[in-house]
Amino acid sequence: MKGRCIAVSLGLEGRIIKQNKIKKSLPRDGCVRRYFPVPFQTGEAPRCTCLTAFFTLEAAIILPLLACFFVSILFFFRVLQIELEVQRALGDTGRTLAAYAAADSVEINIASAKVLFMKELSDSENICRFIKNKAAGISISNSDFEGDFIKLKADYTIRLPVGLLGKQQIRMNQCVQCRKWTGWQSTGTEDEENLWVYITETGTVYHTSKECSHIKLAVRQTGYETLSTLRSENGNKYYACEICAEKVNKNQIVYITNQGDRYHVRLDCSGIKRTVLMVRLSEAGGRLPCSKCGGERK
């Protein structure tokens, strides 16, 4: 840039040197220079310092672009935070509605879901600052409550602090699915051979209930000397287990069950340890039904 340059130098008497005398010392390269007075000692001529300043066209274009880029990168983490808050609210709402489905008096619909969803987002600052129309701008109208599942879908728009590629906002969609707490009901059409039953590795019967006392034993411990006074639920005395109770001391602790008629000295004895397998009735290997829980299938 070429132009007139005027340098001002303060002399010993504070006089302003005339402009025509300074022009002779101006640089010819077209740079803008300013001369500032430098402290000097008495009797010396004043010294001047020359500073050069410039701002290129490339820097004027790149700096704003870099600023927009870094703002966009930082805002990306804010978008992730908003997604996590919306997903948490959807999950809590879905689980609450799934529990309500167990009660016939509570109706599951868009209105009840909207109330619960807004309650979950009431304290969120990010929702109010960055989502268009705040919490009211999140729509769950596309949710589905039919069948055994609750499908909540949230649609909303996030405002961008800096427009990217001509876009000032981005559209977001999130979804969560929860099963209603309605339990399981048999339709009565299952093949009997495909029914699930419970067996043990060494047992000769199968069980239709995993809570059957023959496979879910209540083990308790007692002293060997008190065995003579104890009886099982069927009124039987307790005899030594053929596997683990061959030798027993008088002061030894033994283990018994309410249903059995044997006492054991080891908890890992196969006589009281049950390895229960859940298999199809067709895979029971010819086992007979349990007299307690499977008597109706004899």
Average model confidence (pLDDT) across the chain: 76
Tell me how far the alpha carbon of residue 148 is from its chain's centroid. Answer: 24
Measure Cα distances from 133 to 113, 190, 295 in Å. 19, 52, 65
User: Which range, of 51-65, 70-84, 124-138, averages the lowest pLDDT?
Assistant: 51-65
pLDDT in tens, 2-37: 334 333 333 433 444 444 454 445 455 444 444 445
Pull the structure tokens for residue 60.
């004027």
Query: In this predicted structure, what is the pLDDT of residue 143?
Result: 92
Q: What is the residue type of 168? A: Q
Query: In this predicted structure, what is the pLDDT of residue 86?
Result: 94
Average pLDDT over residues 56-81: 79
Measured distance CA(242)–CA(226) in Å, rounded: 20
Query: In this predicted structure, what is the pLDDT of residue 165?
Result: 62
Measured distance CA(49)–CA(31) in Å, rounded: 14
Q: What is the residue type of 11? A: G
Average pLDDT over residues 199-218: 82
Query: In this predicted structure, what is the pLDDT of residue 48?
Result: 56
Q: Greater confidence, 55 or 226?
A: 226
Check: CB of residue 162 under 8 Å from CB of residue 71. Answer: yes
pLDDT in tens, 34-56: 444 545 455 555 555 555 555 67
Helix axes 110-120, 57-100, angle to 10 degrees: 120
> Domains of the chain: which residue ranges?
1-54, 60-179, 187-216+274-298, 218-272
Query: In this predicted structure, what is the pLDDT of residue 130?
Result: 86
Measured distance CA(58)–CA(184) in Å, rounded: 70
